[in-house]
Structure 1
Amino acid sequence: MSSTVFISIIVGLIIILLLVGAPVKPMKYIGQATIKLGIGMLFLFFINVFGGAIGLHIPINIFTVFVSGFLGVFGIGSLAAIHLFVL
């Protein structure tokens, strides 16, 4: 399944939940998680753009987005340390 189909299904489900009348609290948590994942993707993008000068490249996949989104700067630091020292 391609990523655009997956994203379309998720957006469709959220719209259906809003129309049917989903409880507010779970929608709040879904919104906060979505924002954190978006910030995590931006963190990884900028690390890859500016880290290219020193040979730092962290792949953007679901695992790294979760780590950087939910752990923030400490997650980015741990991913960079794994990349530099382990890989």
Structure 2
Amino acid sequence: MDPILYISLAGVGVCLFFLIGGGKKSFKWVGSILVRLIVGALALFFLNAFGSAFDYHLPINLVTVLISGLLGIPGVLMLVAVDLFIIM
């Protein structure tokens, strides 16, 4: 499916959630998770930017962004270890 469709559906879902029954506490929770996911995606981007000097690339997809965003730096290190030692 088209990524614009996914983003649109997510936006409509979040808007309905806040209109129907979301409060300030749920907004903080959703906002916190979104910020962590964005930071995780940026961490993977910078890892790939600096890793290109060493011919290293870690794909940025939903699973890797979730792992790096929710687990932080240990999650990124775990992804690198899995990629280097298990997959290769």
Query: With structure 2 as the length reference, what TM-score do the two structures score?
Result: 0.85
In structure 2, runs of 5+ residues without a counterpart are none
Q: How many angstroms does 1:12 deviate by?
A: 2.1
Q: Secondary structure at the match of 1:74?
A: helix
Q: Spell out structure 1 runs of 4+ moving beyond 3 A.
A: 16-21
Pairing 1:17–2:17 present: yes
Q: Which amino acid aligns with 1:39?
A: V
For 2:19 and 2:65, locate their aligned partners in 1 and report how far apart those are by CA, in whole Å.
29
Q: Which amino acid aligns with 1:69?
A: G
In structure 1, runs of 5+ residues without a counterpart are none
State the Cα RMSD in Å.
1.5
Deviations 1:16-71 (A, max 9, x none): 33344522222221111111111111011110111011122111111100110011
For 1:22 and 1:73, locate their aligned partners in 2 and report how far apart those are by CA, in whole Å.
31
Across the two proteins, how many residue pairs are aligned to each other? 87
Query: With structure 1 as the length reference, what TM-score do the two structures score?
Result: 0.86
